[in-house]
Structure 1
Amino acid sequence: MYPFTNGNIEKFDDLKYDENKIPLLKYKDSLIYYPVQYTQVALHYYAKYFYTKEEKDKNIFLKQANAIKNKLVVKNGFGVWQCGVEIHPYKADPPFASSMAQGFGLGVMLQAYVLTKDKSYLEAADLALNSFEVLIADGGIKSLWDTYPHYEEYADPKSHVLNGYIFSLAGLYYHYQLTGNEKALKLYNEGIEALTVKIKDYDAGFTSFYSFVTGTGQYPYDSANGSNPDHYHELIVRQIIMLYLWTGDKVFYEYGYKFYQQHLSQINKDIPKKIKSIEASHTIVPKTHGVENLMNNNWTFGNFWSTNKFPTELVLDFGVQRKDITKLVLYGCVNEQSLPGKFEIYVFNNNKWELANTDEDILRTHHTKFKTRHHKTYVVEYDLFGRYEGSKLKIKLLSSKGKKGIALRNINVFFNIRNEYNALIDVIRSSAKDSFN
């Protein structure tokens, strides 16, 4: 079974389908065939059959696979599934090919071949595989990023979408695992080597970058997308852990950990949240703008917590003793004026509060401005002077930078969370046991 898929096809119930059970994407005022979507949906239908072994599920998948095979556009010895619309803000002239769709499509073709032994599916997979060698300018999906190959989700050579790139690597690895194809292994290894070098560029300090397109005036952040803002960042953590499990490369282990520290909520329901609870000595509107807003995964819009009384104390309970407390991240509403001016940070250790830092002790900060059409967030990362240990952290807010008080969308604290991270690796290792079947 292709990695990152499951048999939960119910989540696609609201989609419109054609007579071949190929989903149609609502794009502006039209319904279009979007390769990333229809190949991904087919993979989930295969997963449904993998678990149920019911003929109806198999027949639906094979109907989809046959239609997808027929949509492959072949030219100059390679094949691509083409997107016929322009996707803002990427500078990709339609029709264009997507590495993410190519990776998914490889999986669909190979799964259909396994079920039917029809060599036309294997031939289609090999044609799609060849697109990984072809530059975007020539109709393929490859770009060169500082001489390193990058398989682009969008045909914009400078976009470098991370999750789509990893999905395409999964397709290559899947091809090799099922067929032993040496070209697939070579392209996969080249992609892995490139990512071990470039993954550092995706670290935004408080979250990960989704891509490097700046047409909106700023970099897109993984944690700023959609109704579930941390969805893509959570996906990246899972994907990088999977790469670590496939390769054993410590680069992926460490960056998976770094991004896991940046995560604001829960990635797995059986692993406790980083912050068990937060209490505030004063809140302006507790009913709608209480401290619970500081504990969700939404740092980009929506309700926030605020105070206009000083001093106000925020007490963050970790639930257990934490070591190596090194960083505090505050997500202010609108601009820097919504953040604290003077403050003190305490840790609760050995049954007593100990002063760790004042704002004057913190020598290094990093400021990030984020905005959408309707909302703004001002993120400041405070690197604490020293390493601390404790079961709680208290922020004593003594003043605000502006005149209207303090308004925060979220809070994050960095500390040693290796045990939870290793537990997540075990969960992902277990859930991936059916991959490549």
Structure 2
Amino acid sequence: MDMKKACFAAILSAATQCVFADEVVSRNVEGKCPSIGVAERTPYAPGLSYATSGKFTLREDGITLFDYGTNYNNLGKWANPYFNSNFAYALYRDWLQTKCTDDDLKNKFLRVADWYIETAEFKNGMALWTYPFHNQYFDLDPGWISGIGQARVAGVLYRANAVSPKESYKKTADLAMEAYTHEITEGGVITRDNGVTWIEEAPDPKGRSFKVLNGHITALSGLVDIYEITKDQRWKNLIHQGEAAVSRDLTKFDGGFISFFSLDWPSPTRRMSERGGYNSLHVEQLLWMYEYFQEPKYLKWASHFQSYEMNSDKYTASYSVNAKTNGPERTKAILFGASWTTNEYPTTFTVTPEKPTRVKGIAIDALDLARRPIDFTVVAYMSGREVARKEIVGNEELWTDVLFKFPVKADKIDITFTKGDRITAITSIMAIRRDVDLAPVTNRCNYRRKSGTNDIVYTLNGAMSEDPNEKMPVRCDGWVFLPMEKGKPYLRVKAHGVKGAEFTVLESWDMKKWKEVKRVPIASGERIRINAKYAKLEFKREAHEITEISTAVN
């Protein structure tokens, strides 16, 4: 993923700023407010703060603009329909928090709803909000629409109708949802595929289905919101078909080193997500799917993709052009222009897993075609003995998977670059894992990056750190899922919080059936034996800070 793709991400993604309805306000506030509650993926920030932060500005007519600068043919400041739905949802939440007494907030919210009525384009029985520029990432002509945005806008309009009943609000919301009844070749946003349905973030009217994972799941959460409002059976059926699409195709998004952004795209670059970005978003979304659909496989895959976030392989190189700014660690699937560079040959790049790991090979992505590696050799070692070797001569690809004849257990992998066109720049070098590794993960509400650092570290890591000053803040009632390490069956957990608060410790062999092991006071630090592959710690918000989660031999 390059800087241009980052700009596209800004078009449709605001998932890192989301809040959940049950954290903010009840769905009925003293009987004076609409029965429709806060929407999923509402920004944390107050509406007016959201609309004026970063590259956002608030237009005089109450619509927020995002400054794209010279991108998209000098698009400059533009009113993005998706971002305005975030703004509107935040205003709606803010208004509910006043017990629906602040008319200024209400009117600001309704102004955005009116803007949607004013800017809707009506085609083939659908109300659409289009993007006026060429989408080079998916090769879509100006006027493309999004399967994410349609339901978001509809949610704003249904809420507006609940606040201030107006026929145009409901009618336009209904027509916005019609896009989910039309396939992409009919100008809609869905792809029906052998009994399942994909909702396209970037629908191609020519019929090419890109199947963007984060866009599809975000759209599913929007459909859930709309179904809860309308109780329209069509949306319940579509939710079922959309969930079936994820269930069927989720394994195709696993690269063995990172999750893939989509199953197809026209770009010559690999379809990979970045650590700390879209891969992290996939984890958060799969946690939502686990919680909503109660399907254990989504917990498994959230935990698996989280293992890529926690990649602890050590990277070194015999030479770097600039080890400080373009050193080996810059190739850990960070992307966005991060790279390691060399102009000396031979140069050996070494990947050392934290522990011996079964690997299928190495995934290598050049920064661009001109700076690709041309000749190189990949050698895997175990305890100093060579266990696999693959030589590449005359490479002409921007990215490649260098696969051994069969998976091997290795504790070191050397990639020796012997030829490049003057300079070789690598944006990602990742060992391709054979096994589906799992990592500890917490529930969606408590799943978040640690603030104040550029390192890819999560708040849960604080509770598992040996540093007594590190901890995991608890934002809501939740749980922590732990794959138990072989040979370490004893679990210990402690927290600061309200006196009398407890942890409920559960165990499972399959993530489906959970057996309660014990309830312990959060301050006790009692050792608990787990007699299964997995453990889960449940807690209430009264456990303010989890200070320790550890496992031991005895």
- Indicate whether the TM-score tops 0.5: yes
Measured in 2, the distance between the counterparts of 1:134 and 1:326 equals: 43
State the AA in 2 paired with 1:359.
Answer: A
| CA shift in 2, pair 1:284/1:126, >3 Å | closer
**Native 8 Å contact 1:24 1:34 kept in 2:** yes
Measured in 1, the distance between the counterparts of 2:317 and 2:144 equals: 52
| CA shift in 2, pair 1:343/1:146, >3 Å | same
Partner of 1:237: 283
Q: Which of 73, 86, 92 pairs up with 1:28?
A: 73
Partner of 2:503: none
Pairing 1:201-212 to 2, within 5 Å after superposition: 201-211=252-262
Q: Secondary structure at the match of 1:223?
A: coil
**Native 8 Å contact 1:80 1:140 kept in 2:** no
Tell me how far 1:193 sits from its aligned partner: 1.8
Given the alignment of the two structures, is residue 331 of structure 1 paired with residue 364 of structure 2, yes or no? yes
Measured in 1, the distance between the counterparts of 2:156 and 2:428 equals: 41
Measured in 2, the distance between the counterparts of 1:337 and 1:91 equals: 29
1:375-401 Cα deviation digits (max 9, x unpaired): xx555466873457xxxx43456x434
**Native 8 Å contact 2:265 2:271 kept in 1:** no
**Native 8 Å contact 2:342 2:424 kept in 1:** yes
Given the alignment of the two structures, is residue 112 of structure 1 paired with residue 152 of structure 2, yes or no? no
Partner of 1:423: 442
Partner of 1:172: 223
Measured in 2, the distance between the counterparts of 1:284 and 1:96 equals: 42
| CA shift in 2, pair 1:38/1:432, >3 Å | farther
1:342-370 Cα deviation digits (max 9, x unpaired): 53434xxxxxxx3475333x89xxx9943
Tell me how far 1:275 sits from its aligned partner: 1.4
Tell me how far 1:202 sits from its aligned partner: 3.7
Q: Secondary structure at the match of 1:82?
A: coil
Q: Whose helix proportion is higher, 1 or 2? A: 1
CA RMSD of aligned residues (A): 4.2
Measured in 2, the distance between the counterparts of 1:256 and 1:208 equals: 10
Partner of 1:394: 412
1:298-348 Cα deviation digits (max 9, x unpaired): 2x6344155958896847474xxx575445535364334364x253434xx
**Native 8 Å contact 2:258 2:272 kept in 1:** yes
Q: Which of 344, 365, 387 pairs up with 1:358?
A: 387
**Native 8 Å contact 2:341 2:426 kept in 1:** yes
Q: Secondary structure at the match of 2:156?
A: helix
Partner of 2:239: 188
Tell me how far 1:185 sits from its aligned partner: 1.1
TM-score (norm 2): 0.58
| CA shift in 2, pair 1:416/1:168, >3 Å | closer
Partner of 1:373: none
Tell me how far 1:52 sits from its aligned partner: 7.4
The answer to which structure, 1 or 2, has the higher relative contact order (CA under 8 A, 6+ apart) is: 1
Measured in 1, the distance between the counterparts of 2:127 and 2:425 equals: 52
Measured in 2, the distance between the counterparts of 1:303 and 1:94 equals: 33
| CA shift in 2, pair 1:192/1:313, >3 Å | closer
Partner of 1:385: 407
Partner of 2:41: 4
State the AA in 2 paired with 1:290.
Answer: G
| CA shift in 2, pair 1:67/1:416, >3 Å | same
Partner of 1:349: none
Given the alignment of the two structures, is residue 301 of structure 1 paired with residue 337 of structure 2, yes or no? yes
Given the alignment of the two structures, is residue 256 of structure 1 paired with residue 302 of structure 2, yes or no? yes
Partner of 1:154: 202
Given the alignment of the two structures, is residue 42 of structure 1 paired with residue 88 of structure 2, yes or no? yes
| CA shift in 2, pair 1:408/1:80, >3 Å | closer
Measured in 2, the distance between the counterparts of 1:359 and 1:109 equals: 60
| CA shift in 2, pair 1:60/1:312, >3 Å | same
In structure 1, the gaps of 5 or more residues are 267-272, 347-353, 371-376
**Native 8 Å contact 1:150 1:165 kept in 2:** yes
Q: Secondary structure at the match of 2:202?
A: coil
Q: Secondary structure at the match of 1:418?
A: coil
Measured in 1, the distance between the counterparts of 2:269 and 2:263 equals: 6
1:169-217 Cα deviation digits (max 9, x unpaired): 111111123443322212211222233223344444544443455544x
| CA shift in 2, pair 1:171/1:69, >3 Å | farther
Partner of 1:374: none
Given the alignment of the two structures, is residue 412 of structure 1 paired with residue 430 of structure 2, yes or no? yes
TM-score (norm 1): 0.71
1:192-246 Cα deviation digits (max 9, x unpaired): 2233223344444544443455544x3662437xxxx862333233223322221
Given the alignment of the two structures, is residue 126 of structure 1 paired with residue 174 of structure 2, yes or no? yes
State the AA in 1 paired with 2:41.
Answer: F
Given the alignment of the two structures, is residue 64 of structure 1 paired with residue 112 of structure 2, yes or no? yes
Measured in 2, the distance between the counterparts of 1:326 and 1:47 equals: 48
**Native 8 Å contact 1:211 1:220 kept in 2:** no
